[in-house]
Amino acid sequence: MTKTERAEYNRVYWQKNKERLGPAGRARIKQWQLDNPERVLEQTRKFKAEHPEYQSEYMKRYYRDNKENFAEYHRQYRTDNIVAMTAYGKAWYKRNRQRVKSAVAQWQTDNPEKVREYSNKKRVQKAQSGGSHTIEQWQQVMAEASFRCMSCNCIDHLTRDHITPLSFGGSDHISNIQPLCRACNSRKHTASTDYRDMSMRYQDGQ
């Protein structure tokens, strides 16, 4: 059933049942729905199964009309549930590690120009950042963190994270580097979160 067909169906149905569907009728329907949640759920599932195209169109339209609300909700949810989200992301990655690696490798194969562009951009940013660090300094930083991610405390796939991103004027100096696992580094994205401060607070029991 298309959107137009559904609208016409609703119009005709309303004309035939306007008295029954007035304020008093709507109140009776609402009460019936409250008294019969299982039947309502059954009818909803049946309608979705019989009219998948309507459900798909409805969800697309609803998302389009409420895109900003969705984005704000997800941002707030991630903020309020950062520990649970981090744990979920780590668990998901462990279950799908090979799948992720294959997808990344395939993307790199399909987009060589973008890969080169990204690599060149990182090199330029490092050259313009005004700082640098050695392998020995990086090893020392990891040792001070007990070779663990400073966000989730795992020991898998540690990467260099620029606390203040190079794209936001951060330096490649060792003072701007913290060890994060690949998942936490990706999740941090362009934020300037210094997990070293958080780690010290946790160690002090604050």
Render pLDDT for 43-63 as a digit per residue (tens, 0 to 9): 888 887 887 777 777 778 888
Confidence of residue 120 (pLDDT cuts 50, 70, 90): low
* Mean local confidence (pLDDT), 131-159: 87
Q: Is position 98 within any domain?
A: yes
Range of the domain at 53: 3-65
30 token code pair: 């609402």
For residues 23 and 93, membership in a common domain is answered with: no
- Percent of the chain at pLDDT above 70? 90
* Mean local confidence (pLDDT), 153-163: 87
Q: What is the pLDDT of residue 201?
A: 40
For residues 188 and 117, membership in a common domain is answered with: yes
pLDDT for residue 200 is more than 60: no
For residues 54 and 110, membership in a common domain is answered with: no
Q: What is the pLDDT of residue 1?
A: 61
Q: Is position 160 within any domain?
A: yes
* Mean local confidence (pLDDT), 182-188: 87
What letters, b where the CB count within 10 A reaches 16 and e where it falls short, cover 80-109? Answer: eeeeeebeebbeebeeeeeeeeeeeeeeee
Q: What is the pLDDT of residue 179?
A: 92
- Percent of the chain at pLDDT above 90? 5
For residues 85 and 54, membership in a common domain is answered with: no
pLDDT for residue 206 is more than 60: no
- What is the pLDDT of the chain when averaged over all its residues? 81
For residues 113 and 88, membership in a common domain is answered with: yes
pLDDT for residue 164 is more than 70: yes
pLDDT for residue 3 is more than 70: no
For residues 97 and 54, membership in a common domain is answered with: no
Name which of 143, 168, 167, 148 is nearest 158 in CA terms. 148
CA distance 164 to 185: 12
Q: Which of 6-20, 92-106, 151-165 shows the lowest mean pLDDT across its residues?
A: 6-20
Q: Which of 117-121, 141-145, 178-182 shows the lowest mean pLDDT across its residues?
A: 117-121
For residues 131 and 88, membership in a common domain is answered with: yes
* Mean local confidence (pLDDT), 113-129: 74
CA distance 190 to 69: 22
* Mean local confidence (pLDDT), 133-148: 88
* Mean local confidence (pLDDT), 138-142: 90
